[in-house]
Structure 1
């Protein structure tokens, strides 16, 4: 038995309608924006989702470090464990992104286990197999006392049947809104807890996949994992999940879970839209700067990374602009000579930050924070 999808309240319907409107507006804005900086925004959002979802599980890597790791940079100051977890989750997310427009797509046990292998294959062991249903009991322990089980998942013998039921549910269209179905899929999978490890990230990944399959926004703009990874939201995430009970009880009303996810959808859309607008304004300010200072316009890409993320590496700039090594080095040396950028570190580990003559207007725009609305307070 799975959790039944609850009916939406009038307030829920209003918030969901607002999310639909905001996402549709963002889609049209993205379609008309220059590819140069929207491409950078896509990469940032992917890295931010990976960093946030991993942080929920205790793997702490900053978004800018994740961006560098994804770009293939080897000299990033992170532990080998965090590097492995980051690259594994990025691989999983990349595959999920490619599935958003597959015409003959269907959910299956094989697909879910394959995604789990991408995520956990580097940790595969006889007692904690990757890409296979768990063979024993699994518990979510209390963060303050690991001798107490905050949640006990269904017994291992029940997992194949529950997962068969979930796969059937995933493949059958219903009258529920796709965003509501995606939230319910997350709850179903994390409650069944079918694997020995990685259940939280897999459940969030499934939600991201279902939103991406909806097709309103490109997959990079579809995840709420970055929102879930903010400390206050992570705490509430665990609280809401915890209030479903200490064991598998699917015959209950989970309206609170839906409301929590609707807030996440709304505020993450606000966040992405704000970064889109801010990123565009920074790009324009830097383009004006290059014109005034007679700097090659392609250097906007490097300066934009510095303004929005705090630093740029030669390898990322080289990739973004399709340059060879010598061209990229020459460009960055020119910005250092002009004191627009300042180098940090030596040789391969070197990166660049804002120098004394970096345009202040661009930094001011980039560093102006966004105020998020509570969608339920608004209705």
Structure 2
């Protein structure tokens, strides 16, 4: 038995309508900006989701470091463990994103286990097999006292049947809004906890896949993992899940989970809208500066990365603009000569940061924080 999908309150309906409106606006907005700029934003959002979801599980790699790892940089100062977890999750996330428009796609037990192998295969062991259902009990321990089980997953004998039921549910058309269905998919999978490890990231990834399959906007814009990875939100995430009880009870009302998920969708949409607007203003400001300085306007992507992320590497700039190594090096050296950029580090580990002549108004735009509103404020 799985959790029944709860009905929506009038407040839920209003919040959901606002999320739909923001997502549609974003889709049209992205059609009117430079492709290289959108490509950079998509890479950032993917890296941000990977960084955030891994951080929930204790693997700490900054978004900019994830971006560098995804770009193929080897000299990134992260531990071997964090590098392995980042690479595995990014590989799975990239595959999930590629499935957004596959015509004959369907969910299956083998498919979910294959995704799990992509995530956990580097940790496969007889005690914690990857790509296979767990072989024994699994517990979620209390953050305050690891000797206490905050949640005990269903008995191992029930896992195959529950997962077949979940797969059937995933493949059955529903009247529920796709965002609500995706939230329920997350809840079903994380509650069954079918694997020995990696259940949280698999559940968040399933939600991302279900949203991407909806097809409203590009899959990179479909994840709420970055929102869930913020410390306060992570704490509330665990609290909401914890209030389901310490054992699997699918015969309960999970309206609170839907409200929490709708808040996440709404505030992540706000965040992406703010990022898009701030990024666009940074791009335009950097382009105007380069034009006035008589520099090649393609360098705008490098200045944009420095303003938004604090640094740019030669390979990132090279890939963004489709340049060869010599062209990229020449452009960056020219910016160093003009003191717009300063090199940091040596040889392959080198990156470029803002120099003393970097346009201050561009940096100020990038540093301006956005304000998030509670979508349920003043709603009953």
- CA root-mean-square deviation: 0.6
For residues 204-232 of structure 1, what are the alpha-carbon distances to aligned partners after superposition, in whole Å with 9 as ceiling and x for unaligned?
00000000000011000000000000000
Aligned to 2:360: 360
Aligned to 1:228: 228
The 5 A counterparts of 1:160-175 are 160-175=160-175
Aligned to 1:350: 350
SS in 2 for 1:147: strand
Aligned to 2:21: 21
Aligned to 2:131: 131
Aligned to 2:266: 266
- Structure 2: 5+ residue runs without aligned partners? none
The 5 A counterparts of 1:1-379 are 1-377=1-377, 379=379
- Structure 1: 5+ residue runs without aligned partners? none
SS in 1 for 2:343: strand
Partners of 2:378 and 2:311 in 1: how far apart? Answer: 37
SS in 1 for 2:129: coil
**Which TM-score applies when normalising by structure 1?**
0.99
For residues 26-50 of structure 1, what are the alpha-carbon distances to aligned partners after superposition, in whole Å with 9 as ceiling and x for unaligned?
1111112211211110000000000
For residues 172-223 of structure 1, what are the alpha-carbon distances to aligned partners after superposition, in whole Å with 9 as ceiling and x for unaligned?
0111000000000000000000000000000000000000000011000000
| Runs (4+) off by over 2 Å | none
**Residues 36 and 321 of structure 2 are in contact (CA less than 8 Å); yes or no, is this contact kept in structure 1?**
no
Tell me how many residue pairs correspond in the alignment.
379
Partners of 2:273 and 2:354 in 1: how far apart? Answer: 25
**Residues 52 and 228 of structure 2 are in contact (CA less than 8 Å); yes or no, is this contact kept in structure 1?**
yes
Partners of 1:3 and 1:242 in 2: how far apart? Answer: 15
Partners of 1:267 and 1:243 in 2: how far apart? Answer: 22
SS in 2 for 1:343: strand
Partners of 1:23 and 1:299 in 2: how far apart? Answer: 30
Partners of 1:149 and 1:256 in 2: how far apart? Answer: 22
Worse-superposed segment, 31-40 or 19-28: 31-40
For residues 244-301 of structure 1, what are the alpha-carbon distances to aligned partners after superposition, in whole Å with 9 as ceiling and x for unaligned?
0000000000000000000000000000011011111111001100110011111101
SS in 2 for 1:141: strand
Partners of 1:330 and 1:365 in 2: how far apart? Answer: 27
Partners of 1:102 and 1:38 in 2: how far apart? Answer: 22
SS in 1 for 2:135: coil
Partners of 1:330 and 1:31 in 2: how far apart? Answer: 31
Partners of 1:315 and 1:16 in 2: how far apart? Answer: 40
Alpha-carbon distance, 1:337 to partner:
0.4
SS in 2 for 1:140: strand
SS in 2 for 1:366: helix
SS in 2 for 1:65: helix
For residues 112-133 of structure 1, what are the alpha-carbon distances to aligned partners after superposition, in whole Å with 9 as ceiling and x for unaligned?
0010000000000011000000
Partners of 1:270 and 1:17 in 2: how far apart? Answer: 14
Alpha-carbon distance, 1:378 to partner:
5.0
SS in 2 for 1:100: coil
